[in-house]
Amino acid sequence: MQQTTMKIREVAGYDEQTYNAVVKLLPQLGTGIKVPSKQGLEDILKSGTHIFILEAENNEIAGLLALCVCKVPSGTKALVEDVVVDETQRGKGFGEALLKHAIGFSRSIGAESVELTSRPSRIAANRLYRKLGFALRETNVYKYTI
């Protein structure tokens, strides 16, 4: 893995550079991924969802991660969603850096756990999650489409 300069920051508010990065990166998660409108991204940022972006050389946005924090009676939980590193930037440790950042942020706000889901076909991603200490849960995940 080659060393590359990077910076991770939380998106504080809507800007065109971030929106253009979302439009470019989200479809790389798989087919059928819906990209939010500009207003949709603004709404997401106002909702309390934390979006972290990774900037590589020349401030190019090379990856992103969304972190949803939930305070429920059983404790504070964090849920990682939409982790994506640009296909031209993979293999440089950017995904690992984003996840470590999200774990540290979650710890700093008092979350007891960080959860994520991943399709079994995403072999490299699943290997990374196990390497970072995520444990596969024996559970059923259900989805109700509205």
The predicted pLDDT at position 134 comes to: 97
Q: What is the pLDDT of residues 95-119, one digit of tens each?
A: 999 999 999 999 999 999 999 999 8
Longest Cα pair distance anywhere in the chain, in angstroms? 44
Contact present, 29 and 75 (Cβ < 8 Å): no
Strands of 7-10's sheet in order across: 7-10, 50-55, 61-72, 75-85, 113-115
For the whole model, what pTM was predicted?
A: 0.91
> Over 80: is that where the pLDDT of 79 sits?
yes
> Over 80: is that where the pLDDT of 4 sits?
no
Crossing angle for the helix pair 38-46 and 16-25, to the nearest 10 degrees: 100
Residue type, 24: K
Domain boundaries, the chain: 7-131
Answer yes or no: CATH 3.40.640.10 is held by domain 7-131.
no
Q: What is the pLDDT of residues 18-70, one digit of tens each?
A: 999 999 999 999 888 999 999 999 999 999 899 999 999 888 999 999 999 99
The distance in angstroms from the start CA to the end CA of the chain is 42
> Over 80: is that where the pLDDT of 128 sits?
yes
> What stretches of 11-143 show up as alpha helix (H) in DSSP?
16-25, 38-46, 94-108, 123-131
The predicted pLDDT at position 3 comes to: 57
